[in-house]
Chains A and B, each alone.
Chain A
C-alpha cells in the first residue's frame, strides 16, 4: 500500500452533533458496509451503554476504500475518538494517529466547549481540519452564525466549510472527496526503524490484548519480535491486519497504515494507550512523544451488597480492567461496609460506566460511596501523604496543610447565561480567569476550579442554569493548598466511615446540615429512633433524627388475601436487599450517594 493513497483521519464532534450518523454515511457511501448490515444501531458505538447514553466511550477504527475523482483508489482509515471530558488523553492519542480531522458542528447548536478542546488538541497535533456544518437541512439551522463561529475558531475561509446533513445524506460525497484533497498523505519511512503508536486496545478472552495502532515508520510482519517501549516488554507478532467491519489479517503493515496487532499479550495494562511499539532487535531510540500514564482523578469505594459476593466483585473488576486500562482498584475495608475496593476513575462518567457495567454485565449489586478526588496531606516534616479515601484523612492537628487538585476549565455558553454561570462558579469556589467572545452571542469563560467542586453535579447544574446550552471541558492544572476539613456522619452515635467526606471549611456547616436532612429522608423508619449527626472532629455541627416506626402491619388477611400478601412481603423483602445493614440500622444504597443529591 502506497503512502500516497492513504488518508488517516478522525471526527471531532460534540455529543449529539451527529458524529456517528456521519460516520455511518461515510461507510455506506464507500460500500464498506451495506445498508442492510447497518441495522438500527450505529456501527461505531458498539457497547450498550454507549448507545444508551449516545456517547462513544471506546475507541475503534475502520478502513474504507474510496474511488476518488482523480481516478485513484484511496485507503481511508477513520479513527474514532471518545467524546467525553473524562477521556482527553485517549482523544489526544487517537488524534496523534491521524493527519486530519473532520470537525463536525451542529448547525442548530453551534460550537461547544468540548469540541473546542478537542479541536485545539487536533491543531496542537498538527492535523489539517475539515470543518463540516451538520444538520443544515433543519429549520433551526443557523448556518451563517455557526459558520462565523467556525471561521473565528479556525481562521478558515467561508468556502472551506462543508455544509452537510448526515441524516439526509447531504454533502457526504463532497466530504469524501475533501478528505482526499485536503488531508495530507501520511509521511513515514517504510524502511526505517519500526515505530507504531498504540491508540487503543481491547481484551479478547481467546487472543489476549488486541492492539489498535498506527504504523509511523518501518514495516511490521507476522513473526517479528517487538518491544513495548514504556515497560520494555517483548512479544512476538501473532497476527496483524487492517480493520474493516471485522479484523482482516495481513502479512505486513507498513508506515502510514492503521491496523491491529495480536501478540499474545495477556493484559491490556501491558498495551497502554500512547505507548510505542518498536522492533526488539533494532529498537527506535525515541518513542513517539505524548505517552502518559493514565491517572485516575476520581475515587470511590465499591462494595458488594452482600459480603459473600466480595470474591465475585473482585473477579468482575479483574475482568473489566482487562478491557479498561484506566480502571484502577485495590482492596479496602470499611467499618460500615465491610470488604470492598477503592477504585480510581478518569472521571465521574467513567465511574458511572464502570458501575453500570458491573451491575448489568456482571450482575453485581453494589454499594458505592461518594466519589472524591485525591488529596495531598503535607505533614509537619514536609512529607506528602496521598489520600484517596476521606476516612483515611489524618486527624486535624497531625499535619501541616492539605492540598487539593485544581483544574483549568472552559465553559462555552450563549452570552445571556454568563451571569448565572458566574454565580454557580463562585459557589463552587472557582477562580475566574478570562472571558472571550467566540462571536456576538457566545462566550468562552475560563476558570480554575477545585476538581472536587465539579466532579459531583456541577455539569448538571451548569446545564440547568443555561437551559442545556453551556458546555464544559477541563483539564488537570495542579495541586493547591486549601482549608479542608473532614466531615463525619454518625448514626446513633457511631461514625459511619463510608459517609465521611472532605469539604472546604466554609461549606462544612451547610453541608453537614443538608447531609443530615437528606439522610433523614432516605433512611427508613426503624422500630427505634435513628439519630443522624454531622461532626467535624469531636464537634457535632448538625443533628436530625428518624423517628421510630410505631406500626407496620396489614389490618386484614383472609383466604383471598394470602397470595397477594405473600407477593407483597416478597417484594418488600427484595427491597431490603437494596439496604446495607450498619449495626442495627438499615441504610439504603442511595444514602451513600446522598451528598450528590444535595442541592445548592
Chain B
C-alpha cells in the first residue's frame, strides 16, 4: 500500500476499520446482515461512505492520524465494488489515517462476482486478504442456501486469487444444514482442504430472527438439525480440520498458523480493542461506547447527505457488562488475559470458584497468563461463560 500520513514520534492510537457494503446479487435465506439486491445506488453509496469518513473525523478528531492495524470490507458483497469505487474509499482512509506496516486488509468476496482482473486490481489497491463465501461444495446445498455460484466457480475464484498474488485466503463453510449427513460435510471439507487456503471458517448454520430461513422453520417447511446431530458435525469439522494441520483459534475459525489468524476478527474478540465502522448497520466500539448505524440504505444516504452521522443508537456498557463482553469474546477465541482482566475489573479470574471444576471437566486450560477453552470447551462456550459471569472479588 502506498504510504499514507506520515507517522511522527507520537505514540499512535491503534484502531481497526470496518466498511459495510450493503449490496448483493441475491440475498441468501440464512443471512441476517443488512443488504439489498437493488444496486442502482451503489455509486451514490460509495460517495456517501467516503463522506461518512469525513463526518466521523470531524466528530472524533482524536481519530485523525490513528494507526490502522486492520481493515475489513464486509457485507453484503464487497466484491460488487469496482476497483475504482474501492480505490475512492481507500483514498479517504489514507487521507486521515496512518496505515500500519503489517496491516491486514480483508475483503469479502462472493465467488460468483469475481474475475481475475478484478482481484488483481484489488491486490494493487492494497487488499492483502480475501475471504470467499463458499459455504458448500455440493450444488444442491448451494442452491438451497440460495448462493449464486457453483462449486466450480468457488474453486476458480480461489485460483484467481492465487494468480493475482494473494497469499492469505479464507473460505467460509457452513454445516448443519437440514438433513446434512456427515458424508456430505466430509466432502465439502475435503474439497476446501484440497484448495489449501490459509484459513477456513466453518460455521454451524444459525437460524436468525427475521430471515427467510427463520420463516421456513416456523412454518415447518424446514426442520433444523437437532442439537445432537449438529454437535456431531461440529466435532467432525473440528477434528478433521485440526487433523489436517489447521488450528482452531475461535469457535468457528481455523488457521494454518498463528500468523494467519484473522487479525481483524481478533480485534472483535479481544474485548478491549477499538474499531470504527462505516456503512449502513455497521457497529463500532470506540471510547468505551458501542454504536451502530441505521440499517437502511435510503436513510443512510439521506443522513450523510445532510451532513449528519448516520447513527442509529449507542450504548455505554457498564463495568459488569464489559466484564461479560471480555469474558465471552476472550473465551470464544484465544482466551482471557488474566493480568488485563485484573487491571480492568480488579478481579483475579484464575481464582474464580468455577475455574477448578471447569479444568477438571476438561473444558478449560489455565496458565500464568491466559485462561482459555479446550477444544471440547469450545463446544460449551456459552454454558461456560454463564458459569463465570458472576464476579467473585476476592479481598486480599
Among B21-29, B41-49, B54-62, B274-282, the stretch that binds chain A is B274-282
Given the known interface contacts A551-B380, A562-B283, A573-B386, the answer about A556 and B203 at a Cβ–Cβ threshold of 8 Å is yes
Is A559's CB under 8 angstroms from B275's CB? Answer: yes
* B368 contacts the other chain (CB 8 A): no
Residue in A551, A556, A570, A572 whose beta carbon sits within 8 Å of that of B231 in the complex = A551
Interface residues of A in 570-592 (CB under 8 A from B): 570, 572-573, 576
Among B150-158, B212-220, B321-329, the stretch that binds chain A is B321-329
Encode contact with A along B194-206: 1 for CB under 8 Å, 0 otherwise: 0000000001111
* A40 contacts the other chain (CB 8 A): no
Residue in A547, A552, A563, A566 whose beta carbon sits within 8 Å of that of B383 in the complex = A552
The residue in chain B whose Cβ has the minimal distance to the Cβ of A557 is B332
Is A553's CB under 8 angstroms from B282's CB? Answer: no
* A538 contacts the other chain (CB 8 A): no
Given the known interface contacts A559-B275, A563-B290, A566-B325, the answer about A554 and B281 at a Cβ–Cβ threshold of 8 Å is no
* A555 contacts the other chain (CB 8 A): yes
What A residues does B265 contact at CB under 8 A?
Answer: 558
* B285 contacts the other chain (CB 8 A): yes
- Shortest beta-carbon distance from B150 to chain A in Å: 24
* B124 contacts the other chain (CB 8 A): no
Encode contact with A along B47-73: 1 for CB under 8 Å, 0 otherwise: 000000000000000000000000000
Is A558's CB under 8 angstroms from B227's CB? Answer: no
A562–B292 CA distance with the chains assembled, in angstroms: 11
* A477 contacts the other chain (CB 8 A): no
What B residues does A549 contact at CB under 8 A?
Answer: 227, 380, 383
Is A562's CB under 8 angstroms from B329's CB? Answer: yes
Given the known interface contacts A554-B381, A566-B324, A569-B328, the answer about A560 and B281 at a Cβ–Cβ threshold of 8 Å is yes
Encode contact with A along B296-317: 1 for CB under 8 Å, 0 otherwise: 0000000000000000000101
* B230 contacts the other chain (CB 8 A): yes
Encode contact with B along A537-551: 1 for CB under 8 Å, 0 otherwise: 000000000010111
What B residues does A551 contact at CB under 8 A?
Answer: 227, 230-231, 234, 379-380
Is A550's CB under 8 angstroms from B381's CB? Answer: no
What A residues does B361 contact at CB under 8 A?
Answer: 527
What A residues does B104 contact at CB under 8 A?
Answer: none
What A residues does B33 contact at CB under 8 A?
Answer: 560
* B96 contacts the other chain (CB 8 A): no
Given the known interface contacts A563-B290, A569-B328, A569-B382, the answer about A550 and B231 at a Cβ–Cβ threshold of 8 Å is yes
- Shortest beta-carbon distance from B321 to chain A in Å: 6
A556–B283 CA distance with the chains assembled, in angstroms: 15
A526–B289 CA distance with the chains assembled, in angstroms: 36
What A residues does B283 contact at CB under 8 A?
Answer: 559-560, 562-563
A-B contact count (CB 8 A): 98
* B90 contacts the other chain (CB 8 A): no
Given the known interface contacts A560-B281, A566-B324, A569-B389, the answer about A555 and B204 at a Cβ–Cβ threshold of 8 Å is yes
Residue in A527, A556, A570 whose beta carbon sits within 8 Å of that of B252 in the complex = A556
Is A562's CB under 8 angstroms from B379's CB? Answer: no
Is B389's CB under 8 angstroms from A558's CB? Answer: no
* B251 contacts the other chain (CB 8 A): yes
Given the known interface contacts A560-B281, A565-B328, the answer about A552 and B382 at a Cβ–Cβ threshold of 8 Å is yes
Is A566's CB under 8 angstroms from B328's CB? Answer: yes
Is B378's CB under 8 angstroms from A566's CB? Answer: no
Is A559's CB under 8 angstroms from B18's CB? Answer: yes
What A residues does B227 contact at CB under 8 A?
Answer: 549-551
Encode contact with A along B168-182: 1 for CB under 8 Å, 0 otherwise: 000000000000000
What A residues does B269 contact at CB under 8 A?
Answer: 557
Candidate in B206, B328, B378 with the most chain A CB atoms within 10 angstroms: B328
* B228 contacts the other chain (CB 8 A): yes
What B residues does A553 contact at CB under 8 A?
Answer: 251, 332, 378-382
What B residues does A573 contact at CB under 8 A?
Answer: 386, 389-390
What B residues does A566 contact at CB under 8 A?
Answer: 317, 321, 324-325, 328
A527–B360 CA distance with the chains assembled, in angstroms: 13
* B385 contacts the other chain (CB 8 A): yes
A550–B227 CA distance with the chains assembled, in angstroms: 7
* B116 contacts the other chain (CB 8 A): no
Chain B residues at the A interface, C-beta cutoff of 8 Å: 18, 33, 203-206, 227-228, 230-232, 234-235, 251-252, 265, 268-269, 275, 277, 281-285, 290, 292, 315, 317, 321, 324-325, 328-329, 332, 361, 363, 378-383, 385-386, 389-390
8 A-B contacts (beta carbon < 8 Å) = A527-B361, A549-B383, A551-B234, A556-B203, A557-B332, A559-B277, A560-B33, A560-B281
In the complex, the 8 A-B pairs of residues with the closest C-beta atoms, listed nearest first: A551-B231, A550-B231, A560-B283, A555-B204, A553-B381, A552-B383, A559-B283, A555-B203
Besides A552-B382, A559-B275, A569-B389, 19 new A-B residue pairs in contact (Cβ under 8 A), listed by A number: A550-B227, A550-B228, A550-B232, A550-B235, A551-B227, A552-B379, A552-B381, A553-B380, A557-B269, A557-B329, A558-B265, A558-B268, A559-B283, A560-B281, A560-B282, A562-B285, A562-B290, A566-B317, A569-B386
